[in-house]
Structure 1
């Protein structure tokens, strides 16, 4: 019975993801999702109390596993700070600019002001990501791999450098080359600038 219940829940999420991608949040309805999955409204509402809750769960399902894998790349034991940041940066941009996640992000941006969805999605993604990066940078500063500074500001500047060549094209839905080579070059440039600003201070004799 438990397996059947989970099977139904996953079927609802799959149908909802299709409908949201096709029509956007505002254009989608619970009735459309019911029709797509073949369940009654009563069944649908027994799993998800509102369209907003269902939308949030679709986003969580689509992003959580890759979010965790991306941030697991922040290896505090890597002796070379620049290399550790490059490894994470490549994973981070590959995650953010994968076609599926671009679609999800645009849905979130278009609906961010509705029913607290923006706050929930911010907490799910950017806020959690920033906390992971802050903790990593704190460790780097504590071990002398980075100079002492405000870690929250450093984390935000780090993210801005990573996305500097990408965010405008994403926001205006312009074509972009998100190949491994393009991402690697962009990340390398970002880390070079970041380490010039936050690399350990050198002493001269």
Structure 2
């Protein structure tokens, strides 16, 4: 029964991905998704409580591999700390500013106060990222490659620096896209600031 349930859930996600791609989020409807999947709306709502949640799950599934790849860039044996952090930063921001992920981020912000979508997004996105980066930074501190500090706080500082040049303007829709060139140069500056604070010999 569990296999059947998971198969049905995946079928809904596959169909929803097609509908969202063809119609966009606003025009897509649960009725349209239901008609293509077959069965009743109640069946879909047994798996996903809202169109927003379904949309989020579709994008999460589509971007999971890139999210994992960003963290694989954090090689504790990498010879150049700046290069390692820049590789991670470029991968992470390249993902966060992809068109479908941009849409989800704005959607989550607008829906966070009306549903549990904000907390769920935080747990499987920023919180998960923070934990993995903190582990990497803790190892680097233990190896003497960064100064001793709270690795969780350091991870938060790194994430904030990486998006510092765009985040407010992006969320308020002053800007929409960020080019690869802007990401690369922004990440380079962010990592330089981070290492000036957390590099060996730095003090706060």
Shorter-chain TM-score above 0.5:
yes
How far apart in 2 are the matches of 1:23 and 1:177? Answer: 20
How far apart in 1 are the matches of 2:45 and 2:84? Answer: 45
In the alignment, what sits opposite 1:22? 25
In the alignment, what sits opposite 1:132? 132
How far apart in 2 are the matches of 1:93 and 1:75? Answer: 18
- State whether residues 16 and 58 of structure 2, in contact with CA within 8 Å, keep that contact through their aligned partners in structure 1: yes
Give the SS at the match of 1:112. Answer: helix
How far apart in 2 are the matches of 1:166 and 1:42? Answer: 41
Q: How many residues align?
A: 198
Once the two structures are overlaid, the 10-residue window that deviates more, 32-41 or 77-86, is 32-41
Give the SS at the match of 1:50. Answer: coil
Q: What are the equivalent positions in structure 2 for 1:1-205 lying under 5 Å apart? A: 9-17=9-17, 18-19=19-20, 21-23=24-26, 30-35=30-35, 37-45=37-45, 48=47, 50-51=49-50, 54-175=54-175, 178-201=178-201
- State whether residues 59 and 100 of structure 2, in contact with CA within 8 Å, keep that contact through their aligned partners in structure 1: no
| Runs (5+) with no aligned partner, structure 1 | none
Distance apart, 1:21 and its partner CA: 4.3
How far apart in 2 are the matches of 1:195 and 1:154? Answer: 10
How far apart in 2 are the matches of 1:33 and 1:148? Answer: 52
How far apart in 2 are the matches of 1:22 and 1:53? Answer: 12
How far apart in 1 are the matches of 2:108 and 2:53? Answer: 13
**TM-score, length of structure 1 as denominator length:** 0.82
Distance apart, 1:7 and its partner CA: 6.5
Shift in CA distance, 115/132, structure 1 to aligned 2, threshold 3 Å? same
| Runs (5+) with no aligned partner, structure 2 | none
How far apart in 1 are the matches of 2:81 and 2:134? Answer: 14
